[in-house]
Structure formats: C-alpha cells, structure tokens
Amino acid sequence: MTPTPPYSPEVIRQHGLTPDEYARVEALLGRAPTWPELGVFSVMWSEHCAYKSSRVHLRRLPTKGARVIQGPGENAGVVDAGDGWAVVFKMESHNHPSFIEPYQGAATGVGGILRDVFTMGARPIALLNALRFGRPDHPRTPYLVKGVVGGIGGYGNCVGVPTVGGDASFDACYDGNILVNAFALGVARADRIFLGRAEGVGNPVFYVGSKTGRDGIHGATMASEEFGAGSEAKRPTVQVGDPFTEKLLIEASLEVMGADLLAGVQDMGAAGLTSSSCEMASRAGSGLVLDLDRVPMRETGMTPYELLLSESQERMLMVCKRGREDELLAIVRRWDLDVCEVGRVTDSGRFVCRWHGEVVVDVPVGALVDEAPCYDRPRTEPPPPTPLADADLPPMADAGADLRALLATPTIGSKRWIYRQYDHMVQTGTVIRPGAGDAAVVRLPETPRGVAMSVDCNGRYCALDPYAGAGLAVVESALNVACVGARPVAVTDCLNFASPERPAVMGAFAAAIDGIAAACAALETPVVSGNVSLYNETEGRGIHPTPMIGMVGLMDDAAAAVGSAFPAEGLAVVVLGDAPPALGGSAWLGLHGDALRGLPPRLDPDGARKVVDTLLAAHDAGLVESAHDVSEGGLAVALAECTFAHGVGVAADLSAGEGGLPARLFGEAIGTVVVATADRDALLALAQRRGVTAWFVGPTGGDRVVITVDERRVVDASVADLRAAWEGALPAVVAARAPVSGGGA
C-alpha cells in the first residue's frame, strides 16, 4: 500500500529531510505531500541535487571569461575552441557506489559523465579519471583497484571513447571512502549547443533509452519492510551499466540533435526522471506534465514513487519541437532504442505527474529548485600549518635508496597497469597517450588543433592547508597542460569532502573554494562546470579535503605537442620557476613516517602564471624538447621520471638549489618545471626577459641518473634499475592476494 500522510518522523528522516525542511515542504504546498511528492522533495532537496551546503561558497568561484560559452548550471561547461568549434566538459564523482560495487560503480560513473557531455550536443572524444584508493596494503585495496579500473575500461572501451589520461594515488584516509571522479570532454559546433531546457508550451516530451527498473532507488533501501515493499525492495541499489545501449544513445541523440528536432534535452542522472524534468522546467521557467504510466518499465508492479526516483542508466528526456515527432521516432527506433512520448511542456510553472489519469504529483517547480534549502553551515577556520624544525626531519642515510623507494610507491609509480586496460586510441585522435606527457592531448576533429587535459589534486597539501592545497591543484594541472604546449583555458572541478555538518570540514571547504578562486583568477581559467561530493566519511573518519581539478588547454597545432621524457642525449636540462621546495606533506616525509605535518608548498598564483606564460613562449620559440612538472617526490623524482620512456639518462648538479639535501632532492616545489632544450642559452635568456628564475642543472645522456650537490655525488643509479622499481609499483599492489568481500564482479 502506498503510505499516506501524516508521515512519521522516522519516514521523514529516512527521506533525508530535517523536521524544519519537512515543515517548509508543507508550507510551500499548503498541505502534506503525497508519497511520490515526498520522494520528489527528498531527492530534489538532497545535498547531491541542491548543493545545499556548498551553494553559498560556490558563488565565489570565477566563472566568466572571453572563451566561456556556457558556465556552471547546465549539464556541462562549454568553451570556445576557435574556428566555430567548442569543447564541452565536466567532471563528476561516483565515489560511494564504487566503494560498494567497484566495477559497476565506476562503469556507471563513466556512463553518467558521458551523458552530461553528449546531452549538450557534443560528441565525446576523451575520458579521464582521477582515482583515490586507501593504503596499498589495506586488504580491500587490490579488489577495489581491479574492480574500478575494470569498470572504467569495460564501459569506456565499449562506447568507443578513448580514456586518455588520469591520476591515481593511495592514502590511508581513503581506506573507507575511495574516490572515483570521471571527466569527459566532447566537441561540438559552438552555435549548436543544446541546453537542458523544457522550452515551448505544448511541445511533447519523449523518454528515450533503457527501460526503467528499480535500481538506484534511495527509497528502496530506506523504506524496506516498514512500507510493505516486500523482498523486491531489498535488491542492491547500485545501478548496472550497459555501455552498448549508451553507444546507441550517443549516436541516436547526436543524430536527433543534428536534425534540429529538439527544443531541449537532458539525461536522467542522479534522481532520474525527477531531477531531469524539474531542472529542465526550472531553467526554462516552464512547467511539465508527465504520464508516468507511459514510461517504459523493466519490471512489473512499479509505482509512481519508484518511477520518479529510479536511477536506471542510459536514459534521456527530450523535448521535441512540435510537428517533428515522427522524425524523432524514426531516428530513435532505427537505433533500436525504446522511445515513448510521456508528457508535455506547460506554462503552469508546476511539475505534474499523472498515473493512469490521476494526478499524483502537483508541485511548483520553484519550490523544488529555487526554494531548495541553502545553508551557510557553521565552520571553523582551518588551523595554520606549523613549520617543521630541522630536528623533526628524518635522517637521510642514502639518497639513492630513497629515490628508488619513492619511485616504487604506487602513487608515484608508473600507471601503465591501469591505462593498458583502457582503450586510449579509439577515434584515432590521441596525440599524447597516457604516460607519455604531463597532460593528455587529443586532436580537435577536422582541425589541426589539439585539446590538452589533466586532472590533479594532492589531498595531503589540502589537509595541511586547504587554501594552498586547492590552489596548488589548479597550478599543477595548469602546468601539466602548459608542459605539453597548450594554453590552459578553463577548469572543471569535483570537490570531494567529508561531512559538511562538521565545522572543520566546512571551514576547509570554504578555504579550498578561495584557493581555487585565487589560482583560477591568476591563470585566467574560469570554472565552467563541476560537482560536489560530501559525506565522504566512514565511522566519523573523513577523507582529506580533495578538490579535484580538471584543466583543459588548447593548442593551435596538435603535432607540436611534446612529451615529458628526455627524447635525446645532449640536451640541456633547465628548471623553470622559483617555487621553493617544501617537505611538509611530501612523499619523502611519508616514506619515513607521518607525512601529514609541516608546511605544504606555497601557493603563488601570480608566480605560476608567469611560469605558464614563459613555458608557452618557450614552446612557441621551439625551445622545448620535453617538459615535466615537479610534483610528488620533488626534483629528483621528476628528473628520474624524465629518463624512463627513452632510456636517456641525466647528470644533474643541484648545488644551486635551496635548502638541505632532502629539500633539494625531494622537496616538492610545486610551480617549477623540468625542461629539456636544445638551446640552453636561448631558453635562459627568454626566462630572464620574463623575470622567471631558470637554472641549468645538467645535460641529458648516458644510462644513469646522476645527481651531485656541492661536488658530492648523492645519487648514481642506473635508469633501468630505477625504471624497474617504478614499473613494478602498481603490479605489486594488485598482485597482493586479498579477501574479496562485498561480492561483486
């Protein structure tokens, strides 16, 4: 039986509504909500849909710029790529489902982000992902790594969108809450962008794609027996992906859009039919009436409540231009997809759902969207990080052994085990493959241009100083993009935090927003899309603040892209940038104990901007043979990494560096770049003209990594030996035998 009001406090709580919020629902409606209406408010007022804890802070992000065609608020951001082309991109989290069921959780995360992009009329041309796992020796880590990587590959490979890059790291803070953040980028004509708007009174609304089942219904887990739903309600709530249907949906949707049949379109993502309908009506200032009994159903006996809240995958809602219905039906049916007219656009400003003619939902769209709760939650200022005294530093017995050990950690080690499982070449546009450069580069179809992409965030820096750490994620990703030769142009973010109800977490969130804002302003890279994922905590233990940044850059000539490794002997290695090396929060500190102490690297947005500009000027002048930014593990690790791809060694003299030996070798000078050049004098002169510090550290050549400081040879290791350690890092993690708990693939 469908429950009826009055609802018990327990039922209201299970719908994620506080007593005050529920009182507002009744006040806005002037009555108690029906059971399906309660479900609709539950999802529309959820943190996920309403951003109720984050909205007040997100407003501080810079979102405008000369290239921005569409900023936040739509399904994805859109940036002008020149000559009438636009790139459309977004990053989104699928953390919790991936922890429960790693293969399907990660797979459907890829499916969801792809739909956000092709919903805008863009053909997806690249996928990236940023992954955070628990400590490498946690018993569940191998299972999660294999499942997540398998799921991302299983979905992306089948839909035929190359997975060209990403980032993966390991830290105990993610033991109980892994992060799976998926990024997708598509390309469209700039004047052919489709918006998620229910425009045009009387226009028919079509449901396209997979049938609706009971998967992903929050209510199903919450309600269970209490509401007499029976055993059906107990099935797992993780959605199952069908990449084959997604592939058909991409082709059908782009064909329908190309034929100019649509007034608006949106995918059904989180909160399914409810959020897609309400958001489209809200953006257009219109209303919608839906006949829920017409929705294609996978199971019998489904109720309006379930149909509204199902998160079944691979579904779209299309508002068709009146009179073009037959053309839409013909195209969609040719792709063998389910399609059904389920409603109409109205001018009532109300979201109305009928069930066999009877009205079961009738609420003002504004109440669901504009009137959604927005909280400025209590927050405490993050405590300032405390500097490390020299006495707190671990002794460094053998720099060469430390270098090898750092390269053998899975966070720094080669990610080949991961990207070898992703088809990173389909669509024949991949110019810089995963592992080959600091950023991935794909060509912009039908042009000589390239798009560069990088995802980045160091959670330890953010834990020590959320303002600096978040800004540094922007700086690092911008430098990655500049290293391959592209101008950073815009950002998408995925803000992963613990519970917003803890003032310390909210304080870190607010500070991280300010750090991102400061860095994006200096680099002129507005935030055009993004996602917030809160409550990443288990048993009161939260993750490090992890504001993941996805940076997109553009270059006029994709063929000019360079890799990160030294391509030849006899080149000069130059370090650009004057960011001081920091040991606080460093990987080296982690090698010898607790890394979560000390001062993290300094955030210097203007300095980073100067390095980016200088590096791009050097690219333009043909002075860059390879470029690699200094990040985890510091300069010594960066130099070693540059030797692996081509087996070309280096002899570096770091006497001109700053600080003690550990800082010079392993201090993380975020904002500096290792450049190999054939014309050392020209590069140094160019840097000097621009007021950027640049120092020559030595020549490339030989088959060893040799580092000297003050005429002392502190590292002398064979490239082959270091490379073996670096390549073995990740295979060693996944080879560990682990109990497979929680079922799954």
Partner 1 sequence: MRFTVVSFPGSNCDHDCVRVVDAVLGEQATLVRHTADDLGRPDVVLLPGGFSYGDYLRCGAIAARAPVMAAVRRFAEGGGPVLGICNGFQVLTECGLLPGALGRNAGLDFVCDDVWLTVEGQATPFTRGVPRERPLRVPVAHHDGCYFADDDTLARLEGEGQVIFRYADAAGRPDPTANPNGSRANIAGICNAAGNVVGMMPHPERCAEPLLGGVDGRLLFDAVRGVLS
Contact status: 385 vs partner 1 (CB under 8 A): no
* Binding range to partner 1, per CB under 8 A, among 113-121, 416-424, 466-474, 545-553: 416-424
Tell me whether residue 58 or residue 732 sits nearer to partner 1 (CB atom). Answer: 732
94 labelled catalytic? yes
Tell me whether residue 318 or residue 558 sits nearer to partner 1 (CB atom). Answer: 558
Output the smallest distance, CB 441 to partner 1, in A. Answer: 10
Among residues 48, 424, 544, 628, the one annotated as catalytic is: 48
Tell me whether residue 122 or residue 508 sits nearer to partner 1 (CB atom). Answer: 122
Tell me whether residue 420 or residue 541 sits nearer to partner 1 (CB atom). Answer: 420
Contact status: 486 vs partner 1 (CB under 8 A): no
List Cα–Cα distances, 362 to 33, 40, 41, 348, in angstroms: 9, 11, 12, 10
* Binding range to partner 1, per CB under 8 A, among 67-75, 166-174, 424-432, 609-617: 424-432
Output the smallest distance, CB 721 to partner 1, in A. Answer: 20
Contact status: 115 vs partner 1 (CB under 8 A): no
Output the smallest distance, CB 103 to partner 1, in A. Answer: 13
Contact status: 578 vs partner 1 (CB under 8 A): no
What are the residues whose beta carbons fall under 8 Å from the beta carbon of 719, sequence distance 6 or more? 640, 643, 644, 647, 648, 649, 703, 704, 705
Q: Over 293-355, what HEC string results?
A: HHCCECCCCCCHHHHHHCCCCCEEEEEECCCCHHHHHHHHHHCCCEEEEEEEEECCCEEEEEE
Output the smallest distance, CB 182 to partner 1, in A. Answer: 17
Distance CA(603)–CA(116), nearest Å, equals 32
Say if CB 562 and CB 525 are below 8 A apart. Answer: no
Contact status: 244 vs partner 1 (CB under 8 A): yes
290-321 in b/e form (b: 16+ CB < 10 A) is bbbbebbbeeeebbbbbbbbbbbbbbbbbbbb
Tell me whether residue 429 or residue 605 sits nearer to partner 1 (CB atom). Answer: 429
Tell me whether residue 322 or residue 416 sits nearer to partner 1 (CB atom). Answer: 416
* Binding range to partner 1, per CB under 8 A, among 198-206, 240-248, 459-467, 661-669: 240-248
Among 27, 559, 656, 720, binds partner 1 (CB under 8 A): 559
Among 157, 169, 536, 626, binds partner 1 (CB under 8 A): 157
Residue type for position 555: M
List Cα–Cα distances, 600 to 373, 580, 632, 653, in angstroms: 36, 11, 11, 25
What are the residues whose beta carbons fall under 8 Å from the beta carbon of 74, sequence distance 6 or more? 120, 195, 196, 283, 529
Contact status: 412 vs partner 1 (CB under 8 A): no
Output the smallest distance, CB 432 to partner 1, in A. Answer: 9
Distance CA(595)–CA(458), nearest Å, equals 12
Tell me whether residue 437 or residue 667 sits nearer to partner 1 (CB atom). Answer: 437
Among residues 15, 57, 94, 544, the one annotated as catalytic is: 94
96 labelled catalytic? no
Helices (H), 52-94: 55-58
Contact status: 720 vs partner 1 (CB under 8 A): no
What are the residues whose beta carbons fall under 8 Å from the beta carbon of 47, sequence distance 6 or more? 53, 54, 500, 532, 534, 535
Tell me whether residue 421 or residue 718 sits nearer to partner 1 (CB atom). Answer: 421
Residues 306-365 that bind partner 1 (CB under 8 A): 335-336
Contact status: 443 vs partner 1 (CB under 8 A): yes
What are the residues whose beta carbons fall under 8 Å from the beta carbon of 687, sequence distance 6 or more? 574, 576, 614, 618, 693, 694
DSSP string, 105-144: HHHHHHHHHHHHHHTTTPEEEEEEEEEEES-TTSTTHHHH
Burial environment of residue 391 by CB neighbours within 10 A (0 to 12, 13 to 18, 19 or more): exposed
What angle do the packed helices 605-620 and 466-484 form, to 10 degrees?
Answer: 0
The number of helix segments (H) and strand segments (E) in the chain equals: 25, 28
Contact status: 568 vs partner 1 (CB under 8 A): no
Contact status: 428 vs partner 1 (CB under 8 A): yes
Among 175, 242, 311, 402, binds partner 1 (CB under 8 A): 242
Tell me whether residue 109 or residue 662 sits nearer to partner 1 (CB atom). Answer: 109
Tell me whether residue 154 or residue 507 sits nearer to partner 1 (CB atom). Answer: 154
Output the smallest distance, CB 419 to partner 1, in A. Answer: 8
Contact status: 735 vs partner 1 (CB under 8 A): no
Distance CA(362)–CA(379), nearest Å, equals 37
* Binding range to partner 1, per CB under 8 A, among 10-18, 156-164, 541-549, 696-704: 156-164
* Binding range to partner 1, per CB under 8 A, among 306-314, 387-395, 413-421, 712-720: 413-421
Distance CA(641)–CA(412), nearest Å, equals 9
Number of residues engaging partner 1 in binding (CB under 8 A): 32
Among 419, 461, 566, 666, binds partner 1 (CB under 8 A): 419
Tell me whether residue 245 or residue 276 sits nearer to partner 1 (CB atom). Answer: 245
> Which letter does DSSP use for residue 732 in this model?
H
Phi-psi sector, 280: left (phi>0), alpha (psi -120 to 50), beta: alpha
Say if CB 486 and CB 627 are below 8 A apart. Answer: no
Task: Look at residues 601, 676, 680, 586 and name the one whose alpha carbon lies nearest to residue 633.
Answer: 586
Output the smallest distance, CB 160 to partner 1, in A. Answer: 3
Contact status: 13 vs partner 1 (CB under 8 A): no
Say if CB 561 and CB 443 are below 8 A apart. Answer: no
Backbone angles phi, psi at 208, to 5 degrees: -130, 135
Contact status: 644 vs partner 1 (CB under 8 A): no
Burial environment of residue 683 by CB neighbours within 10 A (0 to 12, 13 to 18, 19 or more): buried
* Binding range to partner 1, per CB under 8 A, among 10-18, 64-72, 154-162, 259-267: 154-162
Among 44, 76, 120, 159, binds partner 1 (CB under 8 A): 159
Catalytic residue numbers, as ranges: 48, 94
For partner 1, the binding residues (CB under 8 A) are 150, 153-154, 157-160, 242-245, 247-248, 335-336, 419-431, 433, 443, 558-559
